[in-house]
Amino acid sequence: MPALDIRLSKPLLPWLFAALAGTAAALVLYVVDQAEHLRYEQSVRTETLEELSQLRADIESRLNAELQLFAGMVAHITLHPSITVKEIQQLSDTLMENKTLVRSLGVSKQFTIFHVHPIEGNEAALGLNYLANDSQREPVLRAVGTRQAVLAGPIELVQGGQALIGRLPVFTKPKDDRSEGDFWGLVSIVIDLDKLYQEIGFDSNKLGIKVAIQGRDGLGQFGDIFYGDTTIFEDNADYLDLSLPGGRWRIAAQPTQQLLSSIPNSSQIVHSLGGIIVLLITAAAFFLTRQLQHQKAIIEVQKQHRAEIWHTATHDRLTGLPNRQLFNEELVHFIALAQRQENKLAVLFLDLDNFKEINDAFSHRVGDLYLQDFSSRLANITRETEIVARLGGDEFAIVAMDMVTIDEAIALAERITELALQEISIENNALNTGVSIGIAVYPEDGDTPETLVQHADLAMYGAKNSALGSYAFFEQRMNQEVQERKQLVDDMRRGMDNNEFNLVYQPIIDIERSEVIGLEALARWNQPQRGMVSPAVFIPAAETSGLILPFGEWSTMQAAKDIAEKLQCQQSGISVSLNLSPIQLHRGDPKALVDRVLKLTDIDPHQLDIEITESAILEDVARATKIVTELRLRGVSVTIDDFGTGYSSLSHLQQLPVTRIKIDTSFVQKIGIDEQSEAIVKAMLFLANTLKIRVTAEGVETAEQLQFLKEFGCCEIQGYYFSKPLTVEKACEFVGNFSLANVIGD
């Protein structure tokens, strides 16, 4: 049989190549189309997850901020388990003044509610026992059992809308390290969920995704869907888990048509070019390679997006430094590393001094620019083994690793101090701040992140209150001092409620007129357990705690009442001097206080003399001048107290419309002993007499001091030479019976 000779004729060859080319082009076109479709889907998913991640971060941040705010009440009750209903009401008023998501709060002793805020509309909650309520028993017991805050709900409110119920258990402070505190009760807050949705922007037209949330009562994927369309979870949606106190939610999202239309889709272009690609096999290979490269680029972009999301969650947005969360995580690793290598590490807690003045004087925008510049310079002076973080506001923290001696921590603190004192120019303003630094060293001062940060914070306050330098190491006594300060402030609050404070009066004598011209009101405290407490102890505590404002109002009002009811009967022209603290001068409203006192007591303004220390005036001369001027316009006298201790008031005497100055006791006591002090007294008397300003010398105890002051023109005398501080009754008697001849004759 002859061999079969199969040959393709030339006319068939073009068809064959056309078919082959068409097949190859179709395959290439299919690959390109699938790659474009995959790119489009991945772009859509990336955009969806990015918006979903931002929503999750906003919800977690907002809810944790609300719980953290009221955790302060829990901490206060923990330290003061015998807190009164009145004190709880004051705490509630303060917390609810903030524009928060919290609609109301309740406080229970054990499981029975005894306080609600606001009371209007919530009266029925008083006396409610959580254990007797089926719907509230489980989350309450879960919060108590875990000793952690639990967020339950959402629930439907009778007045409309949805709310979350936060249960914050309160335990008393443990008696020692081996025991746990006793269960005291609960702080419960009602969080307006609809307001949360609104603030985060769930209903915003700019949101490119449709959202649904699952996990009522923190049950995550096992809980009910309580927000959004339930079909979102059924349609292969993207989702993320959201952590909450005591549980979690699952939040799912699908892109909206608006988001889909904003992402370019090249499929139509690929189809339009299909006819040309049929004849260009080589071009098909080129397009395939191009798509593969494009796929790789998409993966890189996704990796970059994940890195950006992580960076946003762990870094401060203003400065770019690690935030508190990342700082605590890194500190755990650093402690573990130091433990393995048997090395020391130091935690430095930084607080910028007087930063608030930059915000107040130049605006918060300038303050933000200063923080950015300071953060950049702070990062530049640290080593690679040190982590710098911004904890919030003007507070920073640094972890220094691989320390051989504490001298390395000292050197770092000194570099930071020098850095903070350097002036920088922001919008043509030369700015700088001081810095207070607290240092805690591992393992001596603690072996956990919480302990080291807490002890560094305590040491920072020690540095802030110290005149020796800008940094301080933690000492165990600081814990004791903090507790003692808190107890002293608590005793003062109770003392004010229980009328334990009273005023005594020390006479001021005009030796030329031979009469009592004034009385200085001085506070005294007879505490039942402590006995007589020195003003040198309780006045600084009142100033640092803010109690000086209500305490100052009480003392001013009481002195005015004594003038109106008891002192006027002796001598209508007598005045009473009252000390105004620096806190009252610069943070309070002295004008409004004086107006209230004059209105309520109806005394003559000339009988009221306000004493302001020279150092308080020098803190802000412009503000002090304005306040002194307004007080003088009301007819009230103003005295500069402790004159001569500020070293710079002399230049301001002409601008300050004060009535008189008081020469500080420290100079008077050295008369007859120290010639330099005598020279200073002479200079002050000469200047005051030249400017026609009255002068009072306080602390006069001897005839020699009296004779010196009289010889150089000081006629107003105050001190034990004439009288110690007296009760108001004794002061009235002293005024009525005073005779200069009898005193000097003695």
DSSP string for residues in 571-627: -TT-EEEEEE-HHHHHHS-HHHHHHHHHHHH---GGGEEEEEEHHHHHH-HHHHHHH
C-alpha to C-alpha distance for 372 and 364, rounded to whole angstroms: 12
Residues 6+ apart with CB under 8 A from 534: none
Give the per-residue pLDDT at 301.
64
Among the listed residues 535, 517, 502, the one whose alpha carbon sits nearest the alpha carbon of residue 718: 517
- Rounded to 5°, the CA angle 116-120-125 comes to 45
Three-state DSSP at 147 gives coil
**Segments in the chain below pLDDT 50:** 1-6, 569, 648-649, 746
* E strand or H helix that includes residue 88: helix 85-97
Q: What is the DSSP letter of 219?
A: B
Tokens of 240: 């993320």
Give the per-residue pLDDT at 2.
47
Q: What is the DSSP letter of 704?
A: H
Tokens of 716: 């107003």
Residues 6+ apart with CB under 8 A from 589: none
What would you report as the CA-atom Rg of the chain, rounded to the nearest whole angstrom?
37
C-alpha to C-alpha distance for 165 and 102, rounded to whole angstroms: 10
* E strand or H helix that includes residue 746: none
Give the per-residue pLDDT at 197.
84
Give the per-residue pLDDT at 293.
58
C-alpha to C-alpha distance for 639 and 34, rounded to whole angstroms: 87
Which neighbouring-strand residues pair with 506?
520
Among the listed residues 352, 347, 351, the one whose alpha carbon sits nearest the alpha carbon of residue 451: 347
Give the per-residue pLDDT at 630.
93
Contact 258, 208 (CB under 8 A): yes
Pairing of strands 247-255, 608-613: unpaired
Give the per-residue pLDDT at 551.
92
Pairing of strands 162-171, 531-533: unpaired
DSSP letter string, 238-305: EEEEEEETTEEEEEEEEE-HHHHHHS---HHHHHHTHHHHTT-HHHHHHHHHHHHHHHHHHHHHHHHH
Give the per-residue pLDDT at 379.
92
Q: What is the SS3 string spanning 489-532? A: HHHHHHHHHCCCEEEEEEEEEECCCCEEEEEEEEEEEEECCCEE
Phi, psi (deg, nearest 5) at residue 720: -70, -15
Tokens of 645: 């201790």
CB neighbour class for 52 (10 Å; exposed up to 12, middle 13-18, buried from 19) = buried
Among the listed residues 249, 205, 257, the one whose alpha carbon sits nearest the alpha carbon of residue 227: 249
CA dist list (Å): 119 to 132, 170, 172, 345:
22, 22, 26, 51
Residues 6+ apart with CB under 8 A from 195: 101
Provide the terminal-to-terminal Cα distance of the chain, rounded to the nearest Å: 162
Give the per-residue pLDDT at 577.
92
C-alpha to C-alpha distance for 82 and 172, rounded to whole angstroms: 10
Three-state DSSP at 163 gives strand
**Pseudo-torsion of CA 358, 364, 369, 371, nearest 10°?**
70
Put simply, whether the predicted model's pTM sits higher than 0.75 gets the answer no
- How remote is the C-alpha of 102 from its chain's centroid? 19
